């Protein structure tokens, strides 16, 4: 099996940089699939996988929306992730883990081990407890051809509370990007990109360019396109020639207006597929502009 960065780069070259989020917001899963229940989340998530397969390279399930339903919700998450990987999609598990020692080892085993219950191609990580918290995930990534996705400059308004604070003459997010340089180099892939991916929000395109200058070989995961207000051109600010990462869209493609009130699953799927294709085309144009 090739490594994560190679698989992602090949997929982006084929399909463009759109990453389809799988975010079952409370009360928004259609009754057609079972509504806001574990069964509804599983059926809806698997239907999204079917709609995305062959159109994009990557999906990104948001673990928190499944966790809220307890063990049955987590079983639904595992089912959706498994279906996505079986469909040939890469799975970026948006779980934002970050802990020390044996606890981090447990998370790494769950998400980045082959045959793990929540096996994914990469998992999002919060680095703010220190670089040592990333090490168990990095080791699993190296051993199993996986990737790690580290928060650097996020897209939420509260990112300014800490990430923009000046430290030693630079904002904290830049200090994080620079501190990740040795690990980025260590996880380099033969494809020319690192198996370390950085989260850099679409709502801060100038900052994305600044991170790109400091981390020329890191892949980017770019949230904030669509519902959070960022345009395609802003979302692609940190990409290079259409490569170097993916742009995530969730509500834009999970709950398009055309799908509201759909009376059949076929009608729902047609609306969702159309939304995916529209976003994919917009991002492909922007990425190569």
Burial of residue 204, with CB atoms counted within 10 A of its CB: 0-12 exposed, 13-18 middle, 19 or more buried: buried
Nearest Cα neighbor of 188 from 252, 142, 123, 140 is: 142
Q: Residues with catalytic annotation?
A: 96
Residues with Cβ within 8 Å of 75's Cβ and at least 6 positions away in sequence, in order, are 38, 42
Provide the 10 A C-beta neighbour count for residue 42.
24
Q: 112, exposed or middle or buried, with CB in 10 Å at 0-12, 13-18, 19+?
A: buried
* Angle (CA) 181 156 256, round 5°: 115
Q: For tokens 């949230």, what's the residue?
A: 223
| Contact criterion met (CB below 8 Å) for 125 and 98 | yes
Beta-carbon contacts of residue 257 (< 8 Å; ≥ 6 apart):
none
């Amino acid at each position: 099996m090739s490594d994560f960065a190679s698989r992602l780069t090949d997929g982006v070259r084929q399909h463009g940089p759109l990453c389809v989020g799988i975010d079952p917001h409370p009360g928004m899963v259609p009754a057609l699939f079972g509504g806001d229940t574990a069964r509804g989340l599983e059926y809806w998530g698997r239907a999204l996988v079917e709609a995305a397969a062959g159109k994009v390279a990557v999906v990104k399930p948001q673990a928190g929306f499944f966790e809220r339903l307890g063990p049955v919700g987590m079983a639904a998450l595992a089912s959706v992730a498994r279906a996505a990987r079986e469909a040939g999609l890469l799975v970026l598990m948006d779980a934002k883990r970050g802990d020390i020692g044996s606890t981090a080892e447990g998370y790494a085993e769950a998400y980045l081990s082959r045959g793990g219950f929540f096996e994914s191609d990469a998992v999002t990580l919060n680095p703010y407890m220190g670089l040592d918290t990333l090490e168990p995930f990095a080791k699993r990534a190296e051993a199993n051809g996986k990737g790690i996705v580290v928060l650097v400059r996020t897209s939420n308004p509260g990112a300014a509370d800490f990430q923009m604070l000046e430290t030693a003459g630079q904002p904290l997010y830049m200090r994080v990007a620079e501190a990740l340089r040795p690990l980025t180099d260590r996880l380099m892939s033969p494809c020319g990109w690192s198996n370390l991916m950085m989260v850099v929000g679409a709502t801060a395109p100038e900052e994305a360019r600044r991170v790109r200058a400091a981390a020329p070989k890191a892949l980017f995961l770019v949230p904030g396109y669509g519902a959070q207000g960022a345009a395609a051109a802003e979302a692609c600010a940190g990409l290079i020639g259409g490569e170097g990462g993916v742009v995530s869209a969730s509500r834009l493609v999970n709950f398009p207006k055309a799908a509201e009130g759909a009376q059949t699953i076929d009608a729902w799927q047609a609306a969702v597929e159309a939304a995916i294709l529209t976003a994919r085309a917009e991002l492909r144009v922007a990425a190569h502009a």
